[in-house]
Amino acid sequence: MQKPKVLVTRRWPAAVEAQLSERFDTVLNTGDKPLNEIEIRDALRSFDAVLPTVTDTVSAKALDVSQPQARILANYGVGYSHIDMERVADHGMMVTNTPDVLSECTADIAMTLLLMVARRAGEGERELRAGQWTGWRPTHLVGTKVSGKTLGVVGFGRIGQEMARRAHHGFGMKIIVQNRSRVPPDVLAKFNAVQVDSLEDLMPQCDFISLHCPGGPANRNLINTRMMNLMKPDAFLINTARGEVIDELALSRALMFETIGGAALDVFDGEPRINPDLLQCDNLVMLPHLGSATREAREAMGFRVVDNLTDFFEGRDPRDRVS
């Protein structure tokens, strides 16, 4: 029997690429260059499965194909706001993702960002590397204590819960949750957390706010000027979710005029392009989308895609089906 034809849009960990190549008629992107919408459209015409990542815009334009050969988009990553799910549904294609296996590592990066911005670690590193450190002094780069403070977690899925676990059990932080659906009381109890009904309730109560909600049109600019104005003037905003969730122009203003304490971002609207205004802000820590960037998570994500594809082509319902 002929093996299904599969396109991997970026370089993946070697062990995963090897397993994919054993099981499927696999084409690898050896140059690791992101595909444009036209190339994605061509791939949908000629492969049985396309394996996109966050760098692939599977837009209405890319999906403007009358008879796609592809029957499944097996996404490498948990977030899939780069895929136009309505158009995918019009074609009757399935979409799968890779939840669970990156939750701990992504929460580690969120906690790293929280600590870095609170303790001014980015500023300190920049100063030292620039040869500008003049030595210890009592008033030098004085930051904010983290232990015992209040953390707002926006979106209480797997990653949000891992963040709450680290903050509550590691740093004794009080946890306030905002989530689109009711969180079961036994889940909240694990972190001694309280759930509030709205962002308007959450923002003014927190010393740190960490975003863990999905991206996409519904959450674009969720954190805008109005929301930032509700924050305490010394509170910090952390984003490891998706760039579009924050209005970056509003954020750069809030940081420049110091109406909030600071921010720390792992994701950007339109990344890898960075809004130049953000680059001017000292009270901002920035990482290049490293949330799931550990050997362990990246391999586990890949093997999860292999499992999803194997299930699909052997006639079973993949465990990570999202549509």
Binding mask 86-115 for ligand DGY (x = CB under 6 A): ----------------x-------------
Site for ligand DGY in 52-81 (CB under 6 A): 53-54, 77-79
* 314 is an active site residue: no
Which residues face 239 on adjacent strands? 211, 265
Q: Tell me the C-alpha distance between 155 and 266, whole Å.
A: 16
| 292 touches ligand DGY by CB under 6 A | yes
Residues 6 or more apart whose CB falls under 8 angstroms from that of 251 comprise 223, 228, 237, 263, 278
Is the bond preceding residue 68 a cis peptide, omega within 30 degrees? no
| 308 touches ligand DGY by CB under 6 A | no
* 242 is an active site residue: yes
Least distance in angstroms from the C-beta of 102 to ligand DGY = 6
How many residues form the binding site for ligand DGY (CB under 6 A)? 8
| 152 touches ligand DGY by CB under 6 A | no
Residue 37: phi, psi to the nearest 5? Answer: -60, -35
Residue 154 is which amino acid? V
Q: Do residues 179 and 203 lie in contact, with contact meaning Cβ atoms separated by under 8 Å?
A: no
Binding mask 27-56 for ligand DGY (x = CB under 6 A): --------------------------xx--
Catalytic residue among 166, 289, 298, 304: 289
Considering beta carbons, is residue 44 or 54 the nearer one to ligand DGY? 54
* 289 is an active site residue: yes
| H-state helical runs in 32-189 | 37-46, 85-90, 103-118, 121-129, 158-165, 171, 185-189
What the block records as the tokens of 25 is 């008629």
Active-site residue list: 242, 271, 289
For binding to ligand DGY (CB under 6 A), which residues are involved? 53-54, 77-79, 102, 291-292
